[in-house]
Structure formats: structure tokens, C-alpha cells
Amino acid sequence: MNDEHEVCLLIAHDGSVLWADTAGGRSALPDSRQRWDQVWRHRERLAEIAHTHPHGPLAFSHVDETTMLAIDAALGRPLAYGVVTPDAYLRHGEDGVRTRVTAEPWWTTLLRAASGIAAF
């Protein structure tokens, strides 16, 4: 689909969505001052940052990895991070362990829909 694009969600400890960001028609989610501001604004409630890879892979890119390190350093604590593809969800936990999640949280459906992708 031409309207598939990366979308990012900031997720609270209680599983609620704190904020959403999209790349629009682009395939990559560019860095954003607004996103950094929202991470800082929600820092006390923020538990996870998840984003889509509409065309895969089910992996964290080099940019994802460096961004995760920068956010953790800025907050002074590790967060969880997620990558959602059309058919899977990979979670990098606060403990650094990566797990392919089978019992996905409710917001993965919302994230896929906002990204223009659907689960197989």
C-alpha cells in the first residue's frame, strides 16, 4: 500500500497511550523535537515507546538502537521499546531482553491501523 507509514506511540505504565506521532507518507520516522518534548513531558508515566515497521523487519534498526540509548540516558532509567510489523510485535524490555510477544497489548491493533498495515 502507498499509504503505509511508520507510527510511534508513547505508552504509560497502565497501558494507556500518552501520545502518537506519524511519519505521514514516509517509510521512516524522522527524529522530531516534538517527540523528544513529549518523552520528557510524560517521563514519569512513560513505560514504553513502540513504533511500526510496515514492511519489516521485525528488528530494531541502528537508528532505533542509538535512539533507545539516548532516551534511557536522558531519563536516567531504561524504558521498554517495541517494533510492530504487520504480523508480529518485538519487545525490548527494560531489562534488555528481547521477546517476540504473542499475547499482544490492545494498542498494537491501533498502531497497525494508524500505520496503514493490517495483521495477517
Residue 92 within any structural domain of the chain:
no
Of the candidates 49, 47, 23, 16, which has an alpha carbon nearest to the alpha carbon of residue 117?
23
Residue 100 within any structural domain of the chain:
no
Residue 7 within any structural domain of the chain:
yes
Task: Spell out the per-residue pLDDT of the chain, length 120, in tens.
Answer: 457 889 999 999 999 999 999 876 666 777 788 999 999 999 999 999 999 999 889 999 999 999 999 999 999 999 999 999 999 999 999 999 999 999 999 999 999 999 998 754
Residue 105 within any structural domain of the chain:
no
pTM: 0.92
What is the C-alpha separation between 42 and 39, in angstroms, rounded? 5
Residue 98 within any structural domain of the chain:
no
